[in-house]
Structure 1
Amino acid sequence: MRIFKITRFTAGAFAALALLTACTGKTGPGTTSGSASPVSTGEATDNGAPKVPAPLDADGILADPCSALSAAQQDDIGMVKPGSAEQGPTGPECRWKSTASPLNSAEVSPFTANKNGLSDIYAQKASSAYFEPLTIAGYPAVSTNVSDLRSDGDCPLWVGVSDQLVVVVTAQLGEGKNRATPCVVAQRVAEAMIQHLKEAA
């Protein structure tokens, strides 16, 4: 249980930094399907974040974050249905436990507290313990946090679904073969989310 509490603290700390930047106006946050790749260069924001090439309609997951994945996708990834939704300090969120272990979970959270998408996350690069841009199913993303807990099974992945909205996909693995590579799980969930949002449009 301790790993989940640590994750919420560090993600919240990163969120607080991003909120501070937005308020002050500073410029400057299973298995793999193989869709993740280094982020492509091209049009970027003032903070260096890539522009989202084709914004996704996120109204559905803003109203119900547990609708981010289809029932078939939840089964394929190995999630206990239904997910548990709540209103977090930075936006709505849905958490799914793993069918393999109650110590493993994944969370999808539209980050509504900030209004500049990945640009606000990139503005916090200097405050991050690690910062790894990548592309998920054609959409810009970055793996980053204020503390590096990946070896403890914790990986938050920030995905730009529009230039105004970033969705945080977090894998929290307390045990099992993927605990040492939680970002692989986060990437798979993020790809499934993008696919589902495209199909729902």
Structure 2
Amino acid sequence: MAILLTSCSGGTEPATPTTSAAASGPRVPSPLPTDGLLNDPCKVLTAAEAAQVGLAYPGRPINETSPSCSFRSSGNPLNSISIGAVPQNPHGISDIYDQEAQSAYFEPVSISGYPGALADTHDGRPSGNCQLWVGVTDELAVSIIPQISAGPNKTDPCGLAQKFAAAMIGHLKAPS
């Protein structure tokens, strides 16, 4: 199962993989709190944070096996970004790196210092879809998937995913 959210470009650089005992992907520098991601992923952004990345608030829960949420674009209701925690991957982002050979595209990225990868088994980027995976702990990866039907972000859905991920990380790092 793949769930991806994307954001605008900027703030990303290639990740430097390091080897963990359990898997071959990069390690998370400092684990983020994940209770909110697992219990109510629609609260990974405040209304103000959602507005900064062009999204309507609140998001709506998606009824799937993993905790997930969809945020609509504030400018075009046909555009959205979905986010989901993927606890089925017990080694977090390392599990995504281990699946590189099965990916239609795979690009390591770093989002606010956290390891990630633009990767999916189908390349929907020309159609406005992109999948971004971000390691928030060494045991949990988050999938961010923009689905952009129209507008300027259609040509760079991966950049939008990265912008959303940076906002999410900032929110999770903020003191509660």
Q: TM-score, normalised by structure 1?
A: 0.80
**2:138 maps to what in 1?**
163
Q: How does 1:7-26 map to 2 (within 5 A)?
A: 12=1
Q: Which of 35, 57, 77 is the matching residue for 1:59?
A: 35
Is 1:95 the counterpart of 2:32 in the alignment? no
**Residues 17 and 25, structure 2, Cα contact 8 Å, conserved in 1:** no
Tell me the SS of whatever aligns to 1:151. Answer: helix
User: C-alpha separation between the residues in 1 aligned to 2:146 and 2:125?
Assistant: 9
Q: After the TM superposition, which parts of structure 1 deviate over 3 Å for at least 4 consecutive aligned residues? A: 41-47
**2:107 maps to what in 1?**
132
Structural RMSD (CA): 1.7
Q: Which of 92, 97, 115 is the matching residue for 1:122?
A: 97
Residue by residue over 1:66-105, the C-alpha shift from the partner in whole angstroms, topping out at 9 and shown as x without a partner, is 111121111111211211013413x110101101111110
Summarize the Cα distance change of 1:60–1:96 in structure 2 as closer, same or farther, 3 Å threshold: same
**Residues 45 and 51, structure 1, Cα contact 8 Å, conserved in 2:** no
Q: Which of 85, 98, 109 is the matching residue for 2:84?
A: 109
Shift of 1:51: 0.7
**Higher RCO structure (Cα 8 Å, ≥6 apart):** 2
**2:49 maps to what in 1?**
73
**Residues 32 and 136, structure 2, Cα contact 8 Å, conserved in 1:** yes
Q: Which amino acid aligns with 2:24?
A: G
**Residues 18 and 25, structure 2, Cα contact 8 Å, conserved in 1:** no
**2:172 maps to what in 1?**
197
Q: Which deviates more, 180-189 or 39-48?
A: 39-48
**Residues 42 and 61, structure 2, Cα contact 8 Å, conserved in 1:** yes
User: C-alpha separation between the residues in 2 aligned to 1:105 and 1:39?
Assistant: 26
User: C-alpha separation between the residues in 2 aligned to 1:191 and 1:169?
Assistant: 11
Q: TM-score, normalised by structure 2?
A: 0.91
**Residues 45 and 119, structure 1, Cα contact 8 Å, conserved in 2:** no
**Residues 80 and 99, structure 1, Cα contact 8 Å, conserved in 2:** yes
Give the number of the structure whose alpha-carbon radius of gyration is greater.
1
Q: Which amino acid aligns with 2:12?
A: A
Shift of 1:42: 3.8
Q: Which amino acid aligns with 2:49?
A: Q
Shift of 1:48: 2.5
**1:145 maps to what in 2?**
120
- Greater helix proportion: 1
User: C-alpha separation between the residues in 1 aligned to 2:21 and 2:131?
Assistant: 22
**Residues 17 and 27, structure 2, Cα contact 8 Å, conserved in 1:** no
**Any stretches of 5+ residues in structure 2 without a counterpart?**
none
